[in-house]
Amino acid sequence: MPPYLSGILVGFLEPVLHAWSNIIDNHFSNAVFPRLPVLLFFGVALNIVFLPITFLAGLPVMLPVTLLGIVFVIAIVNVVYAFPYYLALRDADTSVVASLFSLGRIFVPVLAYFILGEVLTLPQYAGFFVIILSSALLTLDLKKLKVNRAFFLMLACSFVLAFQTILYKFVFDAGASWPSVVAALTVFELVIAGAIMFATTSLRHIREDLGTVRRNWKLFVAQQGLEWGGNVGASYAISILQVTVAQAIASTQPFFVLLYAVLFKKWFPNAFNETTARGDLLKKGILFACIILGTVLVVAHGPVIDV
């Protein structure tokens, strides 16, 4: 299979798996784990279990000090972005929060141009504009004519994730292997999440939440497996594809969140924080279709040309 095609197919692991992860995240942050640092640490710690799977693509090697520093910054973003993300899940429907990740996509072509020298075609710029506009409209409160808190939380979140994506591509372009980057990230994220947890949470709370993890271990393992699989798909796609194409694929994630809610909410009503009334579905469906249209414009009119 050509690398470009494999990158596209593997890249869709991110929206498909992260959509389920978003749904479980919503349940955890709203009903199970009141303390986010503890939830984050146990999730990151579980990545150690999944790490050996990446070794099927090759054994990791020690990265140069310069690249290790960049990977450490990426790890900080991977950990810190979770806080505005979980808070946003408490303020808005899961599919809306997922769609707001698309906000970061509009920063990607600008950062990619100045840092990586990637240039988009006019239809690709139009596609990104459609994505950002549709995502913003999803959070508008038409009665109050203002944007809600989830919008601003995810705006900050998506911007740092956009910058992180550029750093990912920079590291891969510098010659770092994919398994080496994943292994280094796993170690760095565990150290960072552990430092945050012990700095903000007492040992009593850690013991209490460890009991919560034990009571919900099956769902917890499933959630982290989905999160890890989506992250692996995203990083692999970035290592193969132009960064803007990889991010356009990721922007289809809200569609899958809504699709899962429509298909499964009847059987699992408590699992979805999602409004599925006819009027809401019509609005979301139209805007999600626009996001998909923007994605098609970006992918179909590539590849990106280096300056």
Residuewise pLDDT in 10s, the chain (307 residues)? 667 677 778 888 888 898 888 778 777 777 777 777 877 888 888 888 888 888 888 899 999 999 999 999 999 998 888 788 777 777 766 666 766 666 667 788 888 888 888 877 888 888 878 877 787 676 555 554 456 676 777 777 878 888 888 999 999 999 999 899 999 999 999 999 888 888 877 677 777 777 887 888 888 888 888 988 988 888 888 888 888 888 878 877 777 877 787 777 777 766 665 666 667 778 778 888 888 888 788 777 655 434 3
Tokens 């945050």, residue?
196
Cβ(297)–Cβ(123) under 8 Å? Answer: yes
Nearest to 238 by CA among 105, 126, 136, 85: 105
C-alpha to C-alpha distance for 247 and 192, rounded to whole angstroms: 26
C-alpha to C-alpha distance for 117 and 305, rounded to whole angstroms: 8
Residue 143 has a pLDDT of: 56
The encoded tokens of residue 210 equal 């460890």
Burial class (CB within 10 angstroms; exposed 0-12, middle 13-18, buried 19+) of 157: buried
Residue 206 has a pLDDT of: 77
Structural domain span for residue 201: 3-306
Residue 138 has a pLDDT of: 67
C-alpha to C-alpha distance for 252 and 303, rounded to whole angstroms: 19
Cβ(253)–Cβ(292) under 8 Å? Answer: no
Q: What's the residue count for the chain?
A: 307
The encoded tokens of residue 27 equal 């349940």
Nearest to 210 by CA among 95, 31, 43: 43
Helix (H, G, I), strand (E, B) or coil at 147: strand
Nearest to 148 by CA among 140, 137, 136: 140
Cβ(107)–Cβ(162) under 8 Å? Answer: yes
Residue 63 has a pLDDT of: 94
The number of distinct structural domains making up the chain is 1
Residue 306 has a pLDDT of: 41
C-alpha to C-alpha distance for 151 and 133, rounded to whole angstroms: 12
